[in-house]
């Protein structure tokens, strides 16, 4: 019956049926074939899958990002990033990376980063003389930092599944997120030197001061979220609510860049994105419950442990599995299906679940820019009007930088756990 479940899921995906419906339909088909479970279990499991207080943080993080985006903060962030790194070799490529690092503290989503800033960044780089394919791949690669630097939607979902601290995960993502940006900037520097890409002029002191002053209110948002959670002033869900409220007050009343006519479209986009994500989580919950009922987690765990009980070997095998799955499935789906299976194995061999959460997330972010179904890759192919072949050909140097960071955080846990241990003990 497990074979029926998995094969039907693959067939539905091949028929181009949306992932949430593929999960749901294959689960119902399994239950009908099994015959010993009433179909009321479908409704019960769908409801139970989203019945987590922590998941309420997701729509409010979406809302904060949408308000900031509609409020026109991109220009302020871009100017601040240009002041910081625009004069370095590969100037606009460096600005692209820093832009994504700054926006990561607002959106928590790689796809949101690529979709909202992608067109602006790709067109800006292309006008300045950068190759279209390179402009697209650096935008995609830098977008992967979105869910690593807090706040992070995948971290919230992982925390709800693995029962770990959201604050700890947010802290754990800071150093890897900064290193990710650094690795990409070094790669851009090398490529720009070989291709003689331009750089911007070094800003004057007054220009740097003005750009920094204009960016400060925006940069306060990640500090409010993380500081509030770690200080115990509010829970992660309350932090997301405060972030959305702060974004609204900032854009509407202080910067006066958000108009009332834009509020309804913002709420509609947030509602649509939240409904899509929650439907995926609900369907994935039903699918993973069936996998657990069939004993798949135990079988897979036994397979891993039969090969080796060494943490380094287990992490290596899990990285290969996650990289493979990330090429075909959405990150949230992989989190829902795989984390309940892998978490017990991780704990058995003594790997920290917070460390593992960051490793899992980076694996899945890499999957977003790799064929055949990388979501961020397709978004940027459409924006830059390039083929998959052009995207993949230009992607390799940046993909190598991401994989190098993956190896680093996998086998040097202190890179991930330094801040959580320092702050939380």
Is 12 inside any structural domain?
no
Instruction: Read off the pLDDT of residues 89-100 as tens digits, 9 standing for 90 and up.
Output: 888 888 889 888
Is 301 inside any structural domain?
yes
Among 64-78, 106-120, 171-185, 246-260, which range has the highest average pLDDT? 171-185
Mean per-residue pLDDT, 343-364: 93
pLDDT confidence of residue 357? 96
- Least trusted range by pLDDT, from 34-38, 237-241, 335-339: 34-38
**Is residue 35 over pLDDT 90?**
no
pLDDT confidence of residue 108? 65
* Count of domains for the chain: 1
Range of the domain at 252: 38-424
Q: How confident is the model at residue 204 (pLDDT cuts 50, 70, 90)?
A: confident
Is 278 inside any structural domain?
yes
Q: How far apart are CA 359 and CA 9, in angstroms?
A: 26
**Is residue 79 over pLDDT 90?**
no
Write down the pTM of the prediction: 0.88
Mean per-residue pLDDT, 52-78: 84
Instruction: Read off the pLDDT of residues 294-340 as tens digits, 9 standing for 90 and up.
Output: 888 778 888 888 888 899 999 999 999 999 888 878 888 889 888 98
pLDDT confidence of residue 421? 92
pLDDT confidence of residue 314? 93
Instruction: Read off the pLDDT of residues 113-155 as tens digits, 9 standing for 90 and up.
Output: 777 677 778 888 888 888 889 999 998 899 888 889 988 889 9
Q: How confident is the model at residue 175 (pLDDT cuts 50, 70, 90)?
A: very high
Is 119 inside any structural domain?
yes
Is 22 inside any structural domain?
no
Is 212 inside any structural domain?
yes
Mean per-residue pLDDT, 377-388: 84
Is 99 inside any structural domain?
yes
pLDDT confidence of residue 184? 95
Is 370 inside any structural domain?
yes
Mean per-residue pLDDT, 87-112: 80
User: What whole-number percentage of the chain has pLDDT above 70?
Assistant: 98
């Amino acid at each position: 019956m497990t074979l029926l479940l998995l094969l039907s899921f693959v067939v539905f995906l091949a028929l181009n049926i949306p992932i949430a419906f593929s999960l749901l339909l294959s689960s119902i088909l399994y239950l009908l074939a099994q015959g010993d479970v009433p179909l009321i279990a479908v409704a019960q499991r769908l409801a139970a899958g989203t019945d987590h207080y922590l998941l309420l943080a997701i729509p409010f993080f979406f809302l904060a990002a949408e308000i900031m985006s509609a409020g026109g903060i991109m220009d302020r962030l871009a100017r601040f990033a240009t002041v910081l790194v625009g004069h370095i070799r590969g100037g606009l490529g460096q600005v692209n990376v820093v832009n994504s690092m700054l926006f990561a503290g607002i959106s928590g989503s790689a796809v949101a980063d690529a979709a909202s800033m992608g067109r602006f960044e790709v067109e800006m780089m292309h006008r300045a003389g950068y190759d279209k394919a390179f402009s697209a791949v650096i935008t995609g690669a830098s977008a992967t930092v979105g869910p690593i630097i807090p706040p992070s939607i995948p971290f919230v979902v992982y925390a709800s599944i693995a029962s770990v601290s959201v604050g700890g995960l947010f802290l754990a993502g800071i150093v890897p997120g900064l290193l990710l940006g650094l690795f990409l900037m070094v790669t851009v520097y090398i490529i720009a030197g070989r291709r003689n890409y331009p750089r911007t002029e070094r800003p004057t002191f007054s220009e740097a001061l003005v750009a920094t002053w204009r960016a400060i209110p925006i940069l306060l948002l990640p500090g409010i979220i993380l500081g509030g959670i770690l200080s115990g002033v509010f829970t992660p869900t309350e932090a997301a609510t405060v972030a959305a409220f702060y974004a609204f007050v900032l854009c509407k009343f202080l910067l006066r860049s958000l108009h009332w006519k834009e509020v309804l479209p913002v709420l509609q986009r947030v509602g649509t994105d939240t409904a899509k994500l929650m439907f995926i989580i609900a369907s994935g919950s039903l699918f993973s419950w069936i996998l657990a009922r069939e004993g798949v987690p135990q079988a897979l765990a036994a397979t891993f442990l039969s090969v080796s009980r060494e943490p380094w070997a287990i992490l290596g095998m899990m990285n290969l599995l996650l990289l493979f799955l990330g090429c075909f499935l959405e990150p949230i789906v992989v989190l829902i299906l795989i984390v309940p299976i892998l978490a017990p194995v991780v704990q058995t061999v003594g790997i920290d679940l917070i460390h593992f959460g960051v490793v899992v997330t980076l694996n899945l972010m890499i999957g977003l820019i790799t064929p055949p179904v990388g979501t961020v890759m397709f978004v940027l192919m459409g924006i830059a009007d390039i083929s998959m072949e052009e995207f993949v050909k230009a992607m390799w140097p940046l993909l190598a930088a991401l994989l190098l960071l993956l190896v680093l955080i996998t086998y040097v846990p202190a890179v991930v756990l330094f801040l959580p241990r320092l702050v939380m003990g």
